[in-house]
């Protein structure tokens, strides 16, 4: 994600890129969901959610920031199927690579949540069943929404905030107009998006993250998972196609004033 496969950058072999994507997604899910699952009770009194939200948002943003600089030079540092598909829509990576990237990201996320579950089996008595009964930090709406928001609120939030996230990514990693501080901008943008959407639906913006937690969260999160697989991708595709149409249009040589 530090370059989103800039055409000027040499491409690593596909197997290396897939391993980098899997490791980066593992880092994201392990850090963010580990904070949500293990550390939340140490940050707040019962019923107080503000510090939990801040801790989780920072964990998400910092894990992506670190992952971008660690793995971005290898794979582009997406760690998110929505980012990969949005990058493909914007012409930053070939569509033929998008499928393998998505599979690697989902595998990395599921391995991370499996490790968290394994750790939980050795936790305090009853900790793991309680965490799973509470949804295992999964996304959801209605009774699964931290703030009691409905399905349409979750859908709109996922589309809008994922699209905004992609606009920032595509801007700061542009092959001509990009910045060496892209990872910082990306990490903080994701932190802001998570802070805004955590009370709505537990903040997805990433189908791999949603899949990873829902498989251990029980029937409710699994039944609602489709929203968090579909609508972050919708937002990313909107941003990818829109960015390409608005900001990557070649300059009309004939429209330049003569010197």
Confidence of residue 32 (pLDDT cuts 50, 70, 90): very high
Q: Provide the pLDDT confidence category of residue 174 given band limits of 50, 70 and 90.
A: very high
pLDDT of 39 = 78
Where b means 16+ CB within 10 Å and e means fewer, 60-74 reads bbbbbbbbbebbbeb
Count helices and strands in the chain by DSSP H and E runs: 10, 0
Confidence (pTM): 0.89
With bands split at pLDDT 50, 70 and 90, how would you rate the model's confidence at 54?
A: confident
Domains of the chain: 14-247 (1.20.1080.10)
Largest CA distance in the chain: 78
Map 235-259 to HEC letters: HHHHHHHHHHHHHCCCCCHHHCCCC
């Amino acid at each position: 994600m530090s370059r989103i496969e800039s055409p000027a950058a040499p491409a690593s072999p596909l197997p290396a890129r897939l391993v980098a994507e899997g490791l980066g997604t593992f880092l994201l899910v392990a850090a963010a969901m580990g904070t949500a699952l293990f550390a939340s009770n140490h940050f707040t009194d019962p019923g107080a959610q503000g510090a939990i939200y801040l801790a989780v948002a920072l964990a998400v943003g910092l894990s992506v920031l670190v992952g971008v600089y660690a793995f971005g030079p290898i794979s582009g540092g997406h760690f998110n199927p929505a980012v990969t598909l949005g990058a493909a829509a914007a012409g930053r990576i070939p569509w033929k690579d998008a499928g393998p990237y998505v599979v690697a990201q989902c595998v990395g996320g599921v391995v991370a949540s499996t490790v968290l579950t394994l750790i939980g089996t050795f936790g305090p008595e009853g900790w793991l069943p309680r965490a799973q009964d509470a949804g295992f930090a999964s996304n959801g709406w209605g009774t699964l929404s931290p703030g009691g928001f409905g399905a349409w609120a979750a859908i709109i939030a996922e589309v809008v905030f994922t699209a905004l996230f992609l606009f920032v990514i595509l801007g700061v990693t542009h092959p001509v107009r990009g910045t060496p501080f892209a990872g910082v901008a990306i990490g903080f943008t994701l932190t802001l998006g998570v802070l805004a959407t955590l009370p709505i639906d537990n903040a997805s913006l990433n189908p791999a993250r949603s899949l990873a937690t829902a498989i251990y969260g029980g029937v409710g999160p699994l039944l609602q998972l489709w929203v968090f697989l579909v609508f972050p991708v919708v937002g990313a595709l909107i941003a990818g196609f829109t960015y390409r149409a608005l900001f990557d249009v070649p300059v009309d040589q004939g429209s330049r004033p003569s010197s």
